[in-house]
Amino acid sequence: MQVIHLEGTEDTPKVMLDKGTGIFEISGRSLPEDAAEFYSPILNWLGEYAKAANPKTDFVVKLEYFNTASSKLILDTLSKLEGIPNTTVVWYHYEDDEDMQEAGQEFAELVDVPFEFKVY
Amino acid sequence: MALIQYLFKQNPMKYIYDIQQLMSNKNLMLVYEGEFTQEITKSVLSMTERNLESVGEENNIKRKVFNVMVECLQNICKHADSNENITEDKGAVFMIGREDGNYVITSGNFIGNDHVPKLKEKLTHINSLDKEGLKSYYKELIKNSELSDKGGAGLGFVDIARKSGSKLEFDFERINDQYSFFSFKTKISKED
């Protein structure tokens, strides 16, 4: 499977989706003008990955900030993980960032995938 | 003061002083008027971030300010696209300042009169909700909004209300038969 590796920018997150190394991570800031366009390749990739997933998948979300346009697409991204066996969403937030922690908890309530919360 | 006013009376450059005084008296850190794009949004954000860093603002306040600014600025950007029927006065204004220990983020832009009732209803509804109510409204909107609508399902205003923890202040000034000026204000308390 092809690897998705995007460097983060001022308004888009760093994305690493690599089945071979088992690294699945979105980090940084997500406030693109057109979130649907930015997340579309990620959603497609996960759709393909779900057909032949690794025995275990840790999907790391380490976002410092995301806008509301991205939040819908993050929900869609996490929903793609539903049904992939042995999948965990590892949701990182700064210790003092209650809003980001709460955002993670809300996503955990909206998708049927176990979440693990970590502080960085 | 009287002397300064006298000297400036006939001075065509007095507006510069007026603006400086207004910004200083209102504690405005940044004022931008004109066209709003994603590039402008990024510049305004990074200028404000640097400003907040230079005064040593707390991280969680910085994040909240950043958050509210993004939603306000992107609301204006998105709205400007759908505003082709307004030919004159297409500009919008964005300001951030300090007032009584709060950060105050304000914006103003022209909207078609036909959009006023729906927006007013939406903002009034948001203001009627408490913390838990806002949370469930947010979840309801995010679940039911379509992927294609670029997050324009009104999540922005709900998010602003949640992150700021204060009521949204707004006003619609009717300009003519076609459009109104929409003023919007959010306060972020520096004490949590």
Residue B140 maps to which CATH number?
A: 3.30.565.10
Q: List the beta strands (DSSP E) in B47-178.
A: 92-99, 102-112, 169-174
Query: What pLDDT score does B14 carry?
Result: 85
Query: What pLDDT score does B151 carry?
Result: 46
pLDDT digits (tens, 9 = 90+) for A18-43: 999 999 999 999 999 889 999 999 99
Q: Give contacts of A72 with chain B, Cβ < 8 Å.
A: 142, 145, 147, 151, 153, 155
Query: What pLDDT score does B98 carry?
Result: 92
Mean pLDDT value across residues B164-181 = 93
Query: What pLDDT score does B145 carry?
Result: 73
Domain span at residue A49? 4-119
CA nearest A12 in B: which residue?
B42
Distance of CA B189 to the CA centre of its chain: 16
B67 closest CA partner among A116, A102, A118? A102
Burial A41-56 (b: 16+ CB within 10 A, else e): ebeebbeebeeebbee
Q: Is A65 an 8 Å CB contact of chain B? A: yes
Mean pLDDT estimate for chain B: 87
Burial B121-158 (b: 16+ CB within 10 A, else e): eebeebeebeeeebbebbbebbeebeeeebbbbbbbbb
Query: pLDDT at residue B79 above 80?
Result: no
Query: pLDDT at residue B147 above 90?
Result: no
Q: Could you identify the residue written with the tokens 């009104």?
A: B154
Cβ neighbors of B121 (< 8 A, separation 6 or more) are none
CA nearest A108 in B: which residue?
B139
Q: List the beta strands (DSSP E) in chain A.
A: 4-6, 14-18, 23-30, 57-66, 87-93, 115-119
Round to whole Å and give the CA distance between A36 and A43.
10
Cβ neighbors of A84 (< 8 A, separation 6 or more) are A49, A50, A53, A57
Domain membership of residue B2 (yes or no) is no
Domain membership of residue B89 (yes or no) is yes
pLDDT digits (tens, 9 = 90+) for A59-103: 999 999 999 999 999 999 999 999 899 999 999 999 999 999 999
Nearest neighbour of B63 by CB, restricted to A32, A70, A99: A99
Distance from the B142 Cα atom to the nearest Cα atom in chain A, whole angstroms? 6
Residue A9 maps to which CATH number?
A: 3.30.750
Total domains in chain A come to: 1
Round to whole Å and give the CA distance between B186 and B51.
19
Q: Give contacts of A76 with chain B, Cβ < 8 Å.
A: 147
Nearest neighbour of B139 by CB, restricted to A33, A99, A106: A106
Mean pLDDT value across residues B92-102 = 92
Q: Is B166 an 8 Å CB contact of chain A? A: no
Angstrom distances, CA of residue B3 to CA of A116, B6, B13, B20: 67, 5, 16, 18
Cβ(A110)–Cβ(B139) under 8 Å? yes
Angle at A107 between CA A104 and CA A111, to 5 degrees: 140
Q: Is A120 an 8 Å CB contact of chain B? A: no
Domain span at residue B82? 12-189
Residue B95's pLDDT band (cuts 50, 70, 90): very high
Beta-bridge mates of residue B97: B28, B104
CA nearest B149 in A: which residue?
A36
CA end-to-end span of chain A: 30
Total domains in chain B come to: 1
